[in-house]
Amino acid sequence: MKITVKLFAGFRNDRFKVDDLEFPENATVVDVLDALKINSPELGVAMINGRHVTREHVLADGETLSLFPKVGGG
């Protein structure tokens, strides 16, 4: 299935801003992190359609997954 992955902040370094990637059915957020060689503890926030999802979230074809490292401001 096709997943659009959007990366932010330091995750973009040596990777990309946005890309369409292929994953097997039932892939989770962790599978995407693994494919991108992002260590799971580095993940701050994962969102689909503006909603937070957990690392275990099972992705569906065509979804856009946004991945942020731990960031903050205020």
Partner 1 sequence: MNKIYRVNMKDLTCKIEDVPAAWVGLGGRGLTSNIVAAEVPPTCHPLGPNNKLVFAPGLLTGTPAAQSGRMSAGAKSPLTGTIKESNAGGTSAQQFAKLGIKAMIIEGQPAEGKWYELHVNNDGVTFHDASALKGKQNFAVIDAMNAKYSPKIGVVTIGVPGEERLKSANISVKDPDQKLRSHGRGGLGAVMGSKGVKVITIDDSAGKKVEIADPEKFRAAAKVFAKAMLDHPVTGEGLPIYGTNVLINIINEAGGLPTKNFRYGTCEHHDKVSGETMHDVIAGRGGSTKHGCHAGCVIQCSQVYVDEKAEYITSGFEYETVWGLGINCMIEDLDDCARIDNAMDDIGIDSIEGAVILGTAMEAGVIPWGDGKECLRVMKEEIGKATPLGRILGNGTKSVGDAYGLTRVAVVKGQGIPAYDPRTIKGIGVTYAMSTMGADHTAGYAIATNILQVGGHVDPLKKDGQVELARNLCIATAAVDSTGMCIFVAFPALDIPECLPSLIDMINARYGINLSGDDVTDLGKSIMKTEKAFNDAAGFTKADDRLPEFFEYEPLPPHNMVWDFTGEELDEFWNF
Single-letter amino acid code for the residue at 31: D
DSSP helix/strand/coil, 52: strand
As a whole number of angstroms, the distance between CA 6 and CA 31 comes to 15
Q: Is 71 in the site for partner 1 (CB under 8 A)?
A: yes
Q: How far is the CB of 25 from partner 1 (least distance, A)?
A: 25
Number of residues that bind partner 1 (CB under 8 A): 21
Q: Does 74 bind partner 1 (CB under 8 A)?
A: yes
Cβ neighbours, 10 Å, residue 34: 13
For partner 1, the binding residues (CB under 8 A) are: 6, 8-10, 12, 42, 44-45, 47, 49-52, 66, 68-74
